[in-house]
């Protein structure tokens, strides 16, 4: 079973409408013809409609940075899976550590969002990962296991293959400190074993587990050389065309 690598750029609260149009246009052109890799950009919510229009017909996909789990009702300020799919979004980042920390998203909320995406036509990029204190206290395995089990618990085995899991050690996000390829591989291997326990080996071999945390054009290939790293979630280095496209190109190798 071959897994197609997936690279997503998370623009966070950066780039206005004009910048979004211009950079997506450049990325689309620069990546035309690059195969064996799926790639997406997650811009600010207010420019999602324009972004989806801009990439229509190309291999560049659009992801939302967040989504709510309810379909409709009195939830001021939120948007649903259907609102995103009607624009043309294909993915949503769910449970990013910034949302967990700054917007109090618990494992339960993250799981509900993953479930809503799976029930709709949106692929969740479900994030998990330990903080520095947890790593230094030797808690990586227990923290990651609890977070991943909570996500897997709401996914049914038929849809499971669509899920994308993103290991993002919090101490590596935006800090310039990347996990070593071996540190990342160790966690990705653990996560693949958790998936095997829950869904069996054939599903575990299909689910993509991507890594995020200070990925850049220089370290992307080394990370991607690890057996269980199936793609990259990229913050800072996705803001410019040159570095994002270089990362996507380094990732364009099918995973056995
Ligand atoms: C992220 O925000 O998901 C991220 C990985 O950021 P950075 O690449 O800047 O560390």
Closest CA to 96 of 20, 153, 24, 147: 147
Q: What is the CATH number of the domain that holds 175?
A: 3.20.20.70
* Nearest residue to 94 via CA among 105, 104, 82: 105
For residues 86-116, b (16+ Cβ closer than 10 Å) or e, as one string?
ebebbbbbbbbbbbbeeeebebebbbbbbbb
Residue 256 lies inside a defined structural domain of this protein: no
Atom 1 (ligand 1) nearest CA: 235
Calculated CA dihedral for residues 203, 112, 191, 216, nearest 10 degrees: 110
Q: Which stretches does DSSP call E strand in the chain?
A: 6-10, 38-42, 60-64, 91-94, 123-128, 164-167, 208-212, 231-234
> Ligand 1: distance of its center to the CA of 74 in Å?
32
Q: Is the pLDDT of residue 32 over 70?
A: yes
**Could you tell me if residue 59 is inside a domain?**
yes
- HSE toward the beta carbon, residue 240, CA cutoff 13 A: 6
- Nearest Cα to Cα of residue 135 among 175, 104, 195: 175
1 in a structural domain = no
- Percentage of the chain lying above the pLDDT 90 cut: 94
Question: pTM (2 decimals)?
Answer: 0.97
- Please, how many CA atoms are within 13 Å of residue 85, restricted to the half-sphere of its CB? 14
Q: What range does the domain containing 106 cover?
A: 6-251
Cα separations in angstroms, 252 against 30, 228, 234: 14, 15, 15
Give a yes or no: residue 236 inside a domain: yes
Quote the mean pLDDT of the chain.
96
Tell me what the mean pLDDT of segment 197-212 comes to.
96
Atom of ligand 1 nearest to the CA of 238: 8
Q: Is residue 173 part of a domain?
A: yes
1 pLDDT more than 70: no
Write out pLDDT tens, residues 65-123: 999 999 999 999 999 999 999 999 999 999 999 999 999 999 999 999 999 999 999 99
Q: Is 168 a catalytic residue?
A: yes
Distance from C-alpha of 240 to C-alpha of 214, rounded to nearest angstrom? 14
Taking alpha carbons only, the member of 160, 199, 167 closest to residue 184 is 167
Residues 6+ apart with CB under 8 A from 244: 7, 9, 27, 41, 234, 237, 238
The residue count for the chain: 256
Residue 83 a catalytic site member = no
- Cα(237) to centroid of ligand 1, in Å? 8
Choose which residue among 125, 132, 172, 215 to substitute to test ligand 1 binding: the one with the highest number of ligand atoms within 8 A of its C-beta.
Answer: 215
In a domain, 19, yes or no: yes
Mutation pick for ligand 1 pocket among 6, 7, 8, 10 (CB with most ligand atoms within 8 Å):
10
Q: Is 169 helix (H, G, I), strand (E, B) or coil?
A: coil
Domain count, the chain: 1
- Quickly count helices (H) and strands (E) in the chain: 11, 8
> Which residue owns the Cα nearest ligand 1 atom 2?
235
State how far the alpha carbon of 64 is from the alpha carbons of 143, 182, 184, 198, in Å.
26, 30, 25, 28
Q: Is residue 121 part of a domain?
A: yes
Please write the tens of the pLDDT for every residue from 120-140: 999 999 999 999 999 999 999
């Amino acid at each position: 079973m071959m897994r197609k690598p997936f690279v997503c750029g998370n623009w966070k609260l950066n780039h206005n409408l004009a910048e979004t149009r211009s950079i997506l246009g450049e990325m689309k052109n620069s990546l035309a013809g690059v195969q064996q890799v799926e790639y997406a950009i997650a811009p600010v919510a207010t420019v999602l409609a324009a972004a989806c229009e801009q990439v229509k017909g190309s291999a560049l996909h659009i992801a939302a940075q967040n989504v709510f789990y309810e379909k409709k009702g009195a939830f001021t300020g939120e948007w649903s899976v259907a609102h995103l799919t009607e624009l043309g979004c294909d993915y949503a980042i769910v449970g990013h550590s910034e949302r967990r920390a700054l917007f109090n998203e618990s494992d339960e909320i993250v799981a509900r969002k993953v479930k809503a995406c799976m029930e709709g036509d949106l692929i969740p990029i479900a994030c998990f990962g330990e903080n520095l204190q947890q790593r230094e206290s030797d808690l990586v395995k227990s923290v990651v296991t609890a977070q991943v089990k909570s996500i897997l618990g709401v996914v049914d085995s038929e849809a499971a293959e669509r899920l994308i899991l993103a290991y993002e050690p919090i101490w590596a996000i935006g800090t310039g400190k990347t996990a070593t390829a071996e540190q990342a591989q160790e966690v990705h291997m653990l996560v693949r074993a958790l998936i095997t326990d829950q869904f069996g080996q054939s599903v575990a071999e299909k689910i993509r587990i991507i890594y995020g945390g200070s990925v850049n054009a220089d370290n992307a290939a080394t990370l991607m050389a690890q057996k269980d790293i199936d793609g990259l979630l990229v913050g800072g280095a996705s803001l410019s065309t040159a570095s994002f496209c270089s990362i996507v190109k380094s990732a364009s190798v099918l995973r056995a």
